[in-house]
């Protein structure tokens, strides 16, 4: 049985072509297989409603709005190259649809190949899983979310688009051992450190990509006890991982700093990565001494039951322990 009738199919196809052109403009669709996935998967099916921030709070746009103008706004927004707030509870954002061009960069960095088995941490709307399904086939994709309501919604969206991967309700910090081993793990929620269970569910040579601090960490996995890698150049802001293994991000420290420093993304990344290992003045001195280092100079090593972040060299002078997951 194919996907159900889509009332917005034609308009969505036109908008999707424009989205693909926008992503290409960022240089994030070098792999033809990923270009085909973004060109084919109808994002509007995964965001039947979302919230737009305004001066009075969040405004909800949805596909069933009786006002044609608001429906048009909804469809146009669904294909804008931006993140979309999809679930808000008591004024707090708990789930969102990631920016498509950022997703393209992430998938490209993962170097997904035919036959790979991929675990996605954070099902969200199901859109990421649908792109993976188009690239690899449904049987090679597993997506997990702590929230049963979110998981069920993702499952319904995927079915509407004609895909049926494994959608599992569970604690993302624990991975999904019943579907292991995996060649790639990609997280769409921020962590304070790397859950060891992820590495234990990887095949040797696997890659793990996860948001950490305000960056994207790409790890190469040698075996369950060792992984190492660097951050991608791009910044990234994701909703925090929830569950038993989740740790909140450290508070951003800007007190007493010049405004240009306190608002600098690179400095915020450093302080988020170093956590309590550096106080504000130490972080500022390091940041200035090293010439405001870019994200890709930083990395993380997981080895021997511990993990640490570092600048330039895992065994160098600038290294900070990450909290135990």
Q: What are the tokens at 167?
A: 């959608």
pLDDT digits (tens, 9 = 90+) for 15-34: 999 999 999 998 888 899 99
d(CA 198, CA 182): 9
- HSE, side-chain direction, 13 A CA sphere, residue 221: 25
d(CA 99, CA 79): 10
Nearest alpha-carbon partner for 308 in 231, 215, 213, 194 = 194
Determine contact, residues 192/242, Cβ cutoff 8 Å: no
Please list the residues that pair with 57 across neighbouring strands: 54
CA torsion, points 189, 192, 198, 199, in degrees to nearest 10?
Answer: 140
Q: Confidence class of residue 1 from pLDDT cuts 50, 70 and 90?
A: very low
Nearest alpha-carbon partner for 239 in 196, 187, 194 = 187
Distances (CA, A) of 199 to 83, 120, 321: 28, 14, 18
What are the two backbone dihedrals, phi and then psi, of residue 210, each rounded to the nearest 5 degrees?
A: -145, 145
E-only strand ranges, the chain: 49-54, 57-62, 84-89, 92-97, 118-121, 141-145, 166-169, 182-187, 202-212, 215-223, 226-231, 298-303, 306-311, 319-321
Q: Which of residues 273 and 88 earns the better pLDDT score?
A: 273
Distances (CA, A) of 293 to 124, 266, 281, 311, 324: 32, 7, 16, 9, 26
Nearest alpha-carbon partner for 35 in 117, 116, 103 = 103
**How would you classify the pairing of strands 319-321 and 306-311?**
antiparallel
d(CA 272, CA 70): 39
Q: Is 179 exposed, middle or buried (0-12, 13-18, 19+ CB in 10 A)?
A: middle
- The residues annotated with a catalytic role in the active site are 95
Domains of the chain: residue spans and CATH: 9-231 (3.40.50.150), 259-321 (no CATH)
Q: What are the tokens at 49?
A: 């409603």
Q: Confidence class of residue 244 from pLDDT cuts 50, 70 and 90?
A: low
Name the residue with tokens 């509007």: 44
Please list the residues that pair with 182 across neighbouring strands: 202
pLDDT digits (tens, 9 = 90+) for 53-106: 878 778 899 999 999 999 999 999 999 999 999 987 776 777 889 999 999 999
Determine contact, residues 127/195, Cβ cutoff 8 Å: no
Between 51-55, 205-209, 298-302, the lowest mean confidence (pLDDT) is in 51-55
pLDDT digits (tens, 9 = 90+) for 129-175: 999 999 999 999 999 999 999 999 999 999 999 999 999 999 999 99
d(CA 272, CA 168): 30
pTM: 0.92
What are the two backbone dihedrals, phi and then psi, of residue 148, each rounded to the nearest 5 degrees?
A: -60, -40
d(CA 140, CA 176): 13
Q: Confidence class of residue 259 from pLDDT cuts 50, 70 and 90?
A: low
Looking at residue 2, its pLDDT comes to: 44
Name the residue with tokens 């305004």: 54
Looking at residue 127, its pLDDT comes to: 97
- The radius of gyration computed from the CA coordinates of the chain, to the nearest angstrom, equals 20
**Exposed e or buried b for every residue in 283-296, given b needs 16+ CB within 10 A?**
bbebbeeeeebebe
């Amino acid at each position: 049985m194919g996907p159900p009738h889509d009332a917005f199919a034609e308009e969505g196809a036109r908008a999707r072509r424009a989205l693909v052109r926008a992503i290409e403009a960022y240089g994030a669709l070098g792999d033809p297989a990923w270009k085909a996935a973004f060109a084919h998967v109808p994002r509007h099916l995964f965001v039947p409603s979302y919230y737009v921030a305004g001066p009075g709070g969040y405004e909800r746009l949805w596909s069933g709005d009786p006002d044609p103008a608001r429906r048009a706004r909804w469809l146009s927004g669904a294909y804008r190259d931006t993140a979309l707030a999809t679930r808000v509870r008591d004024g707090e954002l708990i789930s969102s649809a990631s920016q498509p061009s950022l997703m393209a960069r992430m998938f490209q960095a993962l170097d997904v190949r035919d036959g790979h088995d991929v675990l996605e941490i954070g099902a969200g709307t199901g859109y990421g899983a649908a792109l993976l399904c188009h690239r690899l086939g449904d049987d090679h994709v597993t997506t997990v979310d702590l929230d049963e309501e979110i998981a069920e919604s993702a499952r319904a969206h995927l079915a509407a688009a004609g895909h049926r991967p494994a959608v599992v309700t569970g604690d993302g910090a624990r991975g999904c051992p019943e579907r292991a081993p995996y060649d790639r793990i990609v997280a769409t929620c921020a962590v304070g450190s790397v859950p060891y269970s992820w590495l234990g569910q990887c095949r040797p040579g696997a890659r793990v990509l996860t948001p950490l601090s305000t960056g994207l960490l790409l790890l190469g996995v040698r075996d369950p006890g060792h992984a190492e890698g660097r951050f991608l150049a791009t910044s990234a802001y994701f909703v925090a991982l929830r569950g038993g293994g989740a740790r909140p991000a450290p508070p951003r420290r800007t007190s007493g700093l010049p405004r240009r420093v306190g608002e600098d993304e690179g400095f915020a990344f450093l302080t988020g990565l170093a956590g309590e290992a550096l106080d504000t003045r130490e972080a500022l001195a390091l940041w200035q001494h090293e010439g405001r280092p870019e994200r890709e100079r930083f990395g993380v090593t997981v080895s021997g039951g511990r993990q640490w972040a570092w600048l330039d060299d895992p065994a160098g002078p600038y290294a900070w322990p990450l909290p135990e997951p």
